[in-house]
Amino acid sequence: MAPPLHVAFCGVTEGPWRVERIAAVIGEGLPPAPSLSVIEGDAPAPERSAWVLRGVTGHERYTTAAERTRLRARETPLGRSEATRAALIPIRKSPEWWALAQDERRTIFEERSRHIGIGLEYLPAVARRLHHGRDLGEPFDFLTWFEYPAAASDAFEELVSRLRATAEWRYVDREVDIRLSRSG
Amino acid sequence: MAPPLHVAFCGVTEGPWRVERIAAVIGEGLPPAPSLSVIEGDAPAPERSAWVLRGVTGHERYTTAAERTRLRARETPLGRSEATRAALIPIRKSPEWWALAQDERRTIFEERSRHIGIGLEYLPAVARRLHHGRDLGEPFDFLTWFEYPAAASDAFEELVSRLRATAEWRYVDREVDIRLSRSG
């Protein structure tokens, strides 16, 4: 389906992804749920979801054409059979972040924090899809979904720690970290 | 209310803005409606609306800090009593536009088309608020709302014509132009 693709991440009793842990990294966490379902497009979220987080994919907000060429050369799709681990990391950024102009946000995002550059180092092992929730009135501004093979677990931890140490992350005022593995 | 502010523009029988004309500029138009109501926040749209166009305000997508300083020094708020004319211009941009990277879109938007620079020339007479609809799954990507005094009508026509002549406008694949005046 062409973007923008609406996606609902649902905390459910039974689903294709088993929840290994839900950690509140910054601010309020999320209630526990045994499994996660990812619903794309217009299909309704399961009725008895413990929580539903919504976002929408779309055009790139900061990536330049040159950066995109480097990303496209290395990135891998979602749904690889060897990618048995996943993470959903919902974050909200502060009012100070959203009050910055585009060039100021870009400078913090890449020139100072190397968000794209760091991510590139973990391709092709870690596949990634970003969903925007801010315009939908959702509690989180961004939902990033990652899929990776078990062998890349240490690399993934490193990626997450490096991003959390950046100047950009000082503008994150809520972050939850949900780790998953494929059910069955 | 702090952004993002959800706004619904409703074609209604009676409302605070009288519709003077609805023109299909590019692609499909909109059905006629005698009046327009602007509903902000969570209030429901009037039940018998001929159409409802939704968008959300928010952070700046292209404006640099320097440009913003120049804008803020000249811009005027909505709701001035002398601003008896208004325009609602819903536009959709093509898939080609959305496939461009951020720096490519910025170059077309400002360095080639001077979208911000042209707009600045018509401040403070023409007040403006932009609403984004793309992530909401709306038929239009942008709803721009303008308010101006009757004396600025010719200037407003010039502003609209100059923007339509830009390189950026080649990426517009649907545009409707709704002109209004304050009722009663």
Could you name the CATH architecture of B55-182? Answer: 2-Layer Sandwich (3.30)
Interface contact A137-B2, CB threshold 8 A: no
Tens of pLDDT, residue by residue over A56-75, are 999 989 999 999 999 999 99
Question: Where are chain B's structural domains?
Answer: 55-182
Q: Within a 10 A sphere around the Cβ of A154, how many other Cβ atoms?
A: 8
The total number of residues shown for chain A amounts to 184
**pTM, 2 dp:** 0.94
Model ipTM value: 0.91
Q: What's the token pair of residue B151? A: 């004396």
Q: Which CATH number fits domain A6-182: 3.30.70.3420, 1.10.510.10, 1.10.3720.10, 3.90.226.10?
A: 3.30.70.3420
Q: Within a 10 A sphere around the Cβ of B36, how many other Cβ atoms?
A: 25
Residues in A lying within 8 Å of B, measured between beta carbons: 2-4, 6, 56, 58-65, 67-68, 95, 98-106, 132, 134-137
On whether the CB atoms of residues B167 and B108 are closer than 8 A, the answer is: yes
Tens of pLDDT, residue by residue over A61-119, are 999 999 999 999 999 999 999 999 999 999 999 999 999 999 999 999 999 999 999 99
Q: How far is B134 from chain A (nearest CA, A)?
A: 8
DSSP tag of B1: -
Please report residues of B whose CB lies closer than 8 A to that of A68.
101
Q: What's the token pair of residue A168? A: 């950009």
